A and B are shown apart, each in its own frame.
Chain A
Amino acid sequence: MNGEPQQTDTQGKLRHFLSIEGFRREQLVQILDAAESFAMLPGRQVKKVPLLRGKIITNLFFENSTRTRTTFELAAKLLSADVINFNVNVSATSKGETLLDTLRNIEAMHSDMFVVRHHASGAAHFIAQHVAPGVSVINAGDGRHAHPTQAMLDMFTIRRHKGDFTPLRVAIVGDIQHSRVARSQIMALNILGVSEVRVVAPRTLLPADVRTLGVHVFHDLEQGIEDVDVIIMLRLQRERMDNALLPSAHEYFQLWGLTQERLQRARPDAIVMHPGPINRGVEITSEVADGPQSVILQQVSYGIAVRMAVMSMAMGNRSGDQGT
């Protein structure tokens, strides 16, 4: 069974960025290195560069997300591309238009790249399968499947603080089952060769056979973060209580909420991360979120550099292809 979209061209250069799965270590490092060249220095603005001048990038969002869309938009503008925002949530699909029809319509307006967010797992692969040959697709989150630029900005943050990945122990805490971020992080961490990836959650928030993703499973938060170098907290959605996956936000915080006291179990120089938006008092206390070990706001600003890196790499390679 063929027809699968290839994320890299025959020379191994980036074409689409749909999932962390399938990339080699040096390819991920290359993205991190490219992001480094764009990254803001403290207190200084990132410079606008003309790399994608004349290119049109379409943000194609089938799910509301102001924050992710804004960082993609900013990254595109800093690369001098023109940006179109297309929120399909409120227009076409409610009238029964298929995803393919929506895609064809926007393609007819001309676009060099689609940044896609969709509620169905596999949507970014689907779109990459159906776009014109010169067009790149960046997955900005599909269902529970993948959110690869988020994972890469998390890797970037970790590398900035820790340097080498190989000795690190990383704990991801919370709703792994419904999280595309966690899936992409787990894959990236394993490809980059960390010493251990742990997931910490009640059984109702873990996917089936979760160990096969390459993680160690903990149900107790204090044991799970013992001696780790990095703690990644995941957002808890309110609807998990309605679906009988958890009894209450109160109990969740009691058992899996990260407090300053519990943080002592991790290594003293451990960093605390969160893909946002955070629920203060549900998965994390304000003391920790705003504390010295938190790097949550740095993640957001690094996100722009990482997205600039991914976009410029994918587009740079496409224009090269078209020349031949």
Chain B
Amino acid sequence: MNTSSIHIRGGRLIDPANGIDAEKDIFITNGLVAGVGEKPGGFEAKETIDASGKIVCPGIIDLGVHLREPGEEHKGTICSEAEAAARGGITTLICMPNTRPVIDTPAVWELIRRRAKACGSARVLAIGALTKNLEGEQLAEMGALQQAGCIAVSNTRRRMGNTLVTRHAMEYARTFDLPVILCSEDPHLKADGCMHEGSVASRLGLPGIPSAAETVAVARDLALTEHTDSRSHFHTLSTGRAIEMIRQAKRGGARLSADVAIHQLFLLDTDVDGFHATCHVDPPFRTQTDRDILRQAVASGDIEVICSDHQPHEADAKTEPFPLTAPGISGLETLLPLSLKLVEDGILDLPTVIARLTWGPAQALGLPQGRLDSGRSADICIFDPDEIWTLDPEGMHSSGRNTPFAGWEFRGRVTHTLFEGRTTWRSAS
């Protein structure tokens, strides 16, 4: 089908899965990596990309984005968000099942798959629903969802009816070795909370979400993971205490992984002060201690994955008094730039941060993507590590401009994104 041949020349290739951090060229034919470092026999480049001075790495895999289609197209469509992903160097979007209708039947997933394919800007993979209509009462048809191509199951942040349903859902998913994506939060402790429970919430009179809302649920889900031998992945953790529990469970041999949303590594509950609706996010921004533990865990590998927790919203959803605004951040276009700030801040080195965005999520969910050896799909991100730019929400490509990072200065910007060997984004410069 695709008979193009591309030569990516002169870049610094960072491919953590293969332990590569060196100046190496990449040769692509028919959408696949044909050679790394050495030109394959008979290769003739129809196109050459000059990557000198740039970083070349596997395309980013974003675990757990909210694509809004079907059902909430006013917030974003599969195509608008896939195009935004391409600009952010993301080639694989793993979408959450809380569309309308939810992804609890193969038909809904089939619709998303077709739309994504027609758009062609990124690979879209799906997390199916854990329970019917995400109501937390009856199991979704996980076997059928897996056969249709869903790579994991989740109940998103919707509450489970009770602990027994959670247990059975984990056991049933384990039957098919389907990873379970857990957004652990106790709904009773969360109640009507809209920010971290602490001194800032107390001063602003905003209902708080205590850290215990997360730790209680993580403790329960860890116990059930152990009991059911579930392949659990803890999604968007926010508290230092939960990280400690995850670390301990891993030492005890539990088969689990975890991620953090990139914005949790930068903002704190104090950023909500002044009722900033762009900082209304769930789980909420917590304390500096929490943030520091999360950062250390990303560096040490106790957290294997950094994601965007992308939740685009129309402007109206954020134009209300703070407690009435919709939580969430439009994060696709700031995932890599913020991650590079972690390198600038000396938290981790460049190959490690790239691992958390590529090979980490691939391993957590058992995906073949996230690495660049011969024969793999040519999903590639090329970025200029020295370009300095400032985020203007008006210039964002996502339908959602809801970002707390407006006006932030970033160093490092995506210049090319290739998905299955096709250029899906190329910057003007």
Contact = CB atoms under 8 A, between A and B. Distances in A.
A206 to B, nearest CB: 9
A100 B203 contact: no
B278 A120 contact: no
B206 A208 contact: no
B210 interface: yes
B52 to A, nearest CB: 38
Interface stretch (B61-69, B164-172, B269-277): B269-277
Contact of B321 (A4, A118, A180): A118
A310 interface: no
Contact of A212 (B203, B319, B323): B203
B259 interface: no
A125 B202 contact: no
Contacts of B276: 1
A143 interface: yes
A122 B321 contact: yes
A98 interface: yes
Interface stretch (B96-104, B148-156, B193-201, B356-364): B193-201
Contacts of A21: 203
A1 B278 contact: yes
B201 A4 contact: no
Interface string A135-147: 0000000111110
Interface string A87-98: 000000000001
Contacts of A4: 274
B204 A121 contact: yes
A163 to B, nearest CB: 29
A126 B322 contact: yes
Interface in A202-230: 207-210, 212-213
Contacts of B201: 207-208
B271 A144 contact: no
Contact of A142 (B198, B203, B321): B321
A119 to B, nearest CB: 9
A122 B206 contact: yes
Contact of B316 (A98, A207, A208): A98
B395 interface: no
A255 interface: no
B202 A120 contact: no
A246 interface: no
A120 B199 contact: no
A194 interface: no
A183 interface: yes
Most buried by A among B206, B275, B321: B321
Contacts of A153: none
A99 interface: yes
Interface string B250-285: 000000000000000000000100111011000000
A123 interface: yes
Contacts of B320: 98-100, 120, 126
Nearest to A127: B321
Nearest to A62: B321
A244 B51 CA distance: 63
Interface string B209-242: 0100000000000000000000000000000000
Nearest to B406: A1
B324 interface: yes
B202 A212 contact: yes
Contacts of B370: none
Contacts of A143: 205-206, 321, 323
A123 B207 CA distance: 14
Given A1-B404, A145-B204, A212-B203, A125 B271 contact: no
B271 A1 contact: yes
A209 B321 contact: no
A213 B203 contact: yes
B208 interface: yes
A210 B275 CA distance: 19
A121 B202 contact: no
A208 B275 contact: no
Interface string B395-409: 000000000101000
Contact of B202 (A98, A100, A126, A213): A213
Nearest to A210: B202
Contacts of A209: 198-199, 202
A105 to B, nearest CB: 15
Nearest to A126: B321
Nearest to A209: B199
Contacts of B324: 99, 120
A120 B192 CA distance: 11
A254 to B, nearest CB: 27
Given A1-B278, A4-B274, A207 B323 contact: no
Contact of B205 (A1, A98, A126, A146): A146
Nearest to A180: B205
A98 B204 contact: no
Most buried by A among B206, B322, B404: B322
A208 B205 CA distance: 11
Contact of B199 (A99, A122, A208): A208
Contacts of A180: 205
Nearest to B404: A1
Contact of B206 (A118, A144, A213): A144
A121 B199 contact: no
Nearest to B274: A4
B186 to A, nearest CB: 15
Given A123-B321, A126-B275, A212 B199 contact: yes
B274 A125 contact: yes
A197 B205 CA distance: 18
B41 to A, nearest CB: 57
Contact of A208 (B210, B278, B323): B210
A207 B203 CA distance: 9
12 contacts: A100-B319, A100-B320, A121-B204, A121-B206, A121-B207, A121-B323, A125-B274, A143-B205, A143-B321, A207-B201, A208-B208, A213-B203
Interface of B: 197-199, 201-208, 210, 271, 274-276, 278-279, 316, 319-324, 404, 406
Q: Which 8 A-B pairs have the closest CB atoms?
A: A144-B205, A145-B205, A122-B275, A207-B202, A212-B199, A120-B321, A123-B321, A209-B199
Given A183-B203, A208-B201, 12 more contacts: A1-B274, A21-B203, A98-B319, A99-B321, A99-B324, A100-B320, A122-B321, A142-B321, A207-B202, A207-B208, A208-B197, A212-B199
Interface of A: 1, 4, 21, 98-100, 118, 120-123, 125-126, 142-146, 180, 183, 207-210, 212-213
